[in-house]
Chains A and B, each alone.
Chain A
């Protein structure tokens, strides 16, 4: 298996622009997680899905952030409009089930908002 695939690997955008991050989980995994990593706040869980259904989005910082999982093999995290403080590395991870199983992380998307 290719592992969790994220695109793009790097994104540079201007403040106010819409940003869409993409994730393809490992085939057969039922749970998908979006994390954000910054120097100040470390690794934070933003939202997670089980069987394509959002379970907990309490980590989503603001209404400017939204996430979807239209099918078992694809998820997006969208920021509209983007702000400089959104600059971070965004990770997608997947696992067989929500609890107890290892979460496999993608390579991350480094987002820079100028």
Chain B
């Protein structure tokens, strides 16, 4: 069975600085998808970024980028120029290409200090 681990329950960053959230996963599959979702206090789940495992190039979305290391089964999220609105819980998720199931990590709460 696949598992997703986020080892940092809480992180904090100064506004305008850069922060990296860690995620590791375990799978025997070769084809899968990885996601980062953001959950602000409103509890709405919002997709931040998506990565296909077959793509070597790291995904980027504006200030958000990932460092995808397939061999190490690592999928970290880098937030550049952090803004107050980035404060939220961030979830890493794995999706099997066979079943489509999304498996979430435990989440990392990000605090942004002004």
| Interface residues of A, Cβ cutoff 8 Å to B | 31, 33, 42-43, 45, 48, 50, 55-56, 89, 91, 93, 97-100, 102-105, 107-108
Contacts and interface: CB of A to CB of B under 8 A. Distances in A.
Nearest to B50: A102
B100 A98 contact: yes
A102 B35 CA distance: 9
Interface residues of B, number: 25
Given A89-B43, A102-B47, A102-B50, A43 B99 contact: no
A91 B95 contact: no
Interface of B: 33, 35, 37, 42-47, 50, 52, 91, 95-107
B107 A42 contact: yes
Contacts of A50: 100
B43 A43 contact: no
B45 A93 contact: yes
A55 B46 CA distance: 24
Contacts of B45: 91, 93, 105
19 contacts: A42-B106, A43-B91, A45-B101, A93-B45, A97-B100, A98-B100, A99-B33, A99-B95, A99-B98, A99-B99, A99-B100, A100-B52, A100-B97, A103-B47, A104-B47, A105-B44, A105-B45, A107-B42, A108-B43
Given A100-B33, A100-B95, A45 B44 contact: no
A69 to B, nearest CB: 15
